[in-house]
């Protein structure tokens, strides 16, 4: 019997080999670094310019309500502070709504000619939650890198919000003291009250030329910097002489301009880098706090197809009911989806919106219209997204041929003649408004339901 030992000759001559050192382990993970650095960032929420208009309307309405209900003089300091917040927010949202021509369309060479390529706006919003208990005299930095999948789809940055957050940090000073103690009013030598308003910058936004390269011990997200990246950052600072950043939630926005057509899809990864940076007494930022960095990589965090989103969010009608009331009107109850708060109903030249409509859980729509309008006109539901939806469309698509004549037929002309002293013969020329099937397939026997717009009993 033969036995072979796989032992190096050197080991036999000089004794056992020393144990090999374990290599340094390095892991690639979606999230790595200090998971408890006190900075949490949500995945981006996608919206468009219509959301900016809605927010502006809400803020301006709130400001008007505040000014109308406030007694004079100001309730110090709450009322003035809240008004300062609202005015600054309205100003910032107006800045978002105004886009330059180059952000709406770009001129690109095509052969010997130049063609205009439309650009699509995309509004990203992030929720940032900060817990600053562990870090004193420090700035919280939140860096976002948007990495486009396609080289030809690299976006441009229109603006960031807030550029500088002066609201929420306005404080009234009296004789050098700040804060709640201001309820004690100061006076000038001639007996007049005197206050000073101080504003400080809580949040500052900036665009960067590249992502931050900060080593994290034994971990990496696999993010690789490229020319397709768009990098921007928010810094949250202590204000008004405080030692730490105010803890709480903040909502920030980035408005991008995408070089895509309405039917194209934009796809991008998002890399988030957060850390704390120490500040000196003169508020200049210095080196980062050791082990405060945290990286996150969200694959396909942005998928934006304007055409598909418009169609999927368009008002959809699944069923419709018409109920006669006692005032020559018709109560219409539509069941479906995507009946958003700003939905309206178009009946001929009349538009119903706001208080004229009752919307239940965005799935049911109720309104009342005169019967003659329903007989003479089509009814459309117009939403924030997509084209208006014909209210009778689901009934046609269901294959039901016993349609209400108010929906399927239009009266082109009418003639009448007397047959005797008691009866008259009425000849109506009808035209189908629903062209999905031949006219003869819709002709069925119906009882006369209205004359001159009045429903018959």
Residues 200 and 262 in one domain: yes
| Residue at 446 is within a domain | yes
The residue from 254, 286, 305 where one domain ends is: 305
Which of 289, 305, 321 finishes a domain?
A: 305
- Closest by Cα among 263, 202, 266 to 230: 266
243, 274, 305 — which closes off a domain?
A: 305
Q: Identify whether residues 246 and 213 lie together within a single domain.
A: yes
Question: How many Å apart are CA 153 and CA 229, to the nearest integer?
Answer: 11
| Statement to judge: residues 258 and 384 lie in one domain | no
Query: What DSSP line would sit under 314-377, residue for residue?
Result: S-EEEEEEEEE-SSSEEEEEEEEE---TT-EEEETTEEE-GGG-EEETTTEEEEEEEHHHHHHS
68/154 same-domain check? yes
pLDDT for 301 equals 92
Residues 364 and 291 in one domain: no
Place of tokens 């479906």: 336
**Mean pLDDT, consecutive 10-residue segments, the chain of 457 residues?**
42 41 60 87 86 78 76 53 74 74 79 83 92 88 92 85 53 41 45 62 86 75 82 88 85 89 87 89 66 90 88 88 80 91 88 89 91 80 88 48 48 76 74 54 50 50
- 16 domain-assigned: no
State the residue range of the domain holding 129: 28-305
Query: Residue 73 has which token pair?
Result: 């003089």
In the numeric block, the tokens 């009934």 are attached to 395
User: Structurally, how many domains does the chain consist of?
Assistant: 2
pLDDT of 17? 41
pTM here is 0.68
Distance CA 254, CA 455 (A): 55
**Cβ atoms 352, 345 nearer than 8 A:** yes
Burial of 409 (0-12, 13-18, 19+ CB in 10 A): buried
Using CA of residue 89, residue 91, residue 92, residue 98, what is the dihedral sign?
A: positive
H helices within 162-314, ranges in order?
Answer: 306-312
Q: Are residues 68 and 208 in the same domain?
A: yes
Classify residue 1: in a domain, yes or no: no
User: Same structural domain for residues 353 and 257?
Assistant: no
**CA distances (Å), origin 323, targets 249, 346, 356, 369, 371:** 48, 19, 17, 11, 10
The CATH number of the domain where 429 resides is what? 2.60.40
């Amino acid at each position: 019997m033969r036995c072979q030992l796989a032992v190096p000759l050197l080991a036999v001559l000089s004794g056992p080999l020393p144990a090999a050192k374990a290599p340094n382990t390095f892991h690639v993970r979606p999230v790595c670094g200090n998971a408890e650095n006190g900075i949490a960032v949500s995945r981006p929420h996608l919206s468009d310019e219509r959301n900016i208009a809605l927010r502006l309307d809400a803020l301006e309405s709130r400001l008007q309500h505040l000014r109308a209900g406030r007694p004079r003089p100001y309730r110090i300091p709450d009322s003035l502070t809240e008004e300062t917040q609202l005015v600054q927010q309205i100003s910032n949202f107006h800045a978002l709504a105004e886009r330059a021509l180059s952000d709406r369309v770009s001129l690109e060479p095509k052969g010997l000619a130049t063609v205009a390529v439309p650009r699509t706006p995309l509004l990203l919003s992030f929720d940032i939650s900060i817990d600053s208990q562990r870090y004193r005299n420090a700035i919280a930095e939140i860096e976002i890198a948007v990495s486009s999948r396609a080289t030809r789809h690299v976006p441009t940055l229109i603006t960031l919000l807030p550029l500088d957050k002066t609201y929420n940090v306005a404080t009234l000073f009296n004789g050098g003291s700040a804060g709640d103690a201001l309820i004690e009013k100061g006076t000038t030598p001639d007996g007049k009250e005197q206050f000073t308003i101080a504003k400080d910058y809580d949040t500052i936004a900036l665009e960067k030329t590249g992502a931050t390269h900060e080593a994290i011990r034994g971990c990496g997200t696999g993010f690789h910097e490229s020319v397709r990246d768009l990098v921007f950052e928010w810094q949250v600072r202590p204000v008004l002489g405080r030692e730490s950043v105010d803890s709480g939630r903040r909502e920030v926005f980035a408005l991008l301009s995408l070089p895509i057509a309405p039917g194209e899809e934009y796809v991008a990864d998002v890399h988030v880098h957060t850390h704390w940076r120490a500040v000196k007494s003169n508020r200049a930022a210095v080196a980062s706090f050791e082990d405060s960095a945290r990286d996150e990589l969200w694959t396909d965090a942005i998928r934006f197809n304007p055409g598909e989103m418009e169609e999927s969010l368009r008002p959809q009608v699944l069923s419709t009911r018409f109920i006669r009331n006692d005032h020559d009107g018709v109560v219409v109850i539509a069941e479906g989806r995507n009946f958003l708060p700003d939905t309206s109903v178009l009946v001929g030249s009349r538009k119903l919106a706001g208080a004229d409509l009752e919307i239940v859980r965005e799935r049911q729509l109720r309104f009342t219209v005169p019967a003659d309008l329903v007989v003479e006109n089509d009814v459309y539901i117009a939403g924030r997204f997509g084209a208006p939806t014909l209210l009778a469309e689901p009934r046609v698509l269901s294959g039901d041929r016993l349609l209400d004549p108010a929906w399927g037929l239009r009266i082109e002309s009418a003639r009448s003649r007397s047959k005797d002293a008691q009866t008259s013969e009425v000849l109506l020329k009808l035209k189908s408004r629903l062209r999905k099937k031949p006219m003869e397939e819709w002709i069925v026997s119906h009882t006369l339901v209205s004359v001159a717009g009045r429903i018959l009993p």
